[in-house]
Structure 1
């Protein structure tokens, strides 16, 4: 049996047979819960939270880099999907760098609204995800800091909430 990630969010294709002779295939939901049935806050949901907390903040290069890292961590793919949130964030950061008036700049809320449905796949946020996204956001910020309600902060908050759900 071979499993393939699917472009349909939170699903995977299960194929039976050899790689050349597929006998049957079906779609299976990829759950977000652990063995105790607790449901984790996903990276996509944390990105959507960023849209709510920092939605009016213009997209900067550090935001685009953090969004890219978050998408890589959620999907496991390093390539940029042309219609994905990383492409939208990079395009917005490029456009915003050339725009002088803040009111004309593309905001995080525009890029990250419905982020969990725009990701090819999603997973519960982990400490490793938060550390990786925070490192990238800092690295690409001119002041080597993260935004107080930005992408890295939202993913770190999701990790803290996920940990609270699990006793011990």
Structure 2
């Protein structure tokens, strides 16, 4: 569906997926963005009639807002012993396992940056930190043709806890922020199965259930 404009049915599917991942529909989140996109697309295709002439009220020079790929699921392995809660660093390390062979893209770097900011409370990119590594890898991968030569998520996120000067337990708000960052930087408006946002969502749900 990469070239298909978002329909109300697509928006409803995303609402269902977001509700399953986070337990509710987040105002301003991906499902809300898709719902807005359907409204814009519908408005762009409205026709008005003047006499015998029909004309389209649209913006032909602008692309249709929002494209969508149906979300799929991938197993996310999160270890939490006893009453211990999962931290952001641990959630990122889970993504290093579940999406180890995924080439790092801008959407991944954006999600990782959102996670690092929430873990450390620092808005600036930390030199030599995980965000810096992810951004550098995404830029390099964009110039690399062969996937096997690209830097993978597993390369960037393995032992990521050692790169975080501070860490914190994953909350639902953290997961929502990371999901929004990943989707906003993904042309298909979808998260990657088992990727950064998916691992954060799984960690938030695990923590919430304790």
Normalised TM-score (structure 2)? 0.60
Give 1:93 shift: 0.1
Structure 2 residue 132 is the aligned partner of structure 1 residue 76: no
| C-alpha distance in 2 between matches for 1:144 and 1:161 | 25
Structure with greater strand percent: 1
Task: Determine the structure 2 residue equivalent to 1:133.
Answer: 178
Structure 1, residues 91-113: CA drift from partner, whole Å, max 9, x if none?
A: 00000000000000000000000
Structure 2 residue 119 is the aligned partner of structure 1 residue 62: no
| C-alpha distance in 2 between matches for 1:104 and 1:140 | 23
Give 1:117 shift: 1.5
Higher alpha-carbon Rg: 2
Task: Determine the structure 1 residue equivalent to 2:159.
Answer: 114
Structure 1, residues 94-147: CA drift from partner, whole Å, max 9, x if none?
A: 000000000000000000000112101000000000000000100000111110
Structure 2 residue 135 is the aligned partner of structure 1 residue 90: yes
Structure with greater helix percent: 2
| C-alpha distance in 2 between matches for 1:38 and 1:96 | 40
Task: Determine the structure 2 residue equivalent to 1:10.
Answer: none
Task: Determine the structure 2 residue equivalent to 1:31.
Answer: none
Give 1:38 shift: 3.1
Please list every run of 5 or more consecutive structure 2 residues that lacks an aligned counterpart in the other structure.
1-81
Task: Determine the structure 2 residue equivalent to 1:99.
Answer: 144
Structure 2 residue 85 is the aligned partner of structure 1 residue 40: yes
Normalised TM-score (structure 1)? 0.75
Please list every run of 5 or more consecutive structure 1 residues that lacks an aligned counterpart in the other structure.
1-36
Give 1:163 shift: 1.4
| C-alpha distance in 2 between matches for 1:39 and 1:54 | 24
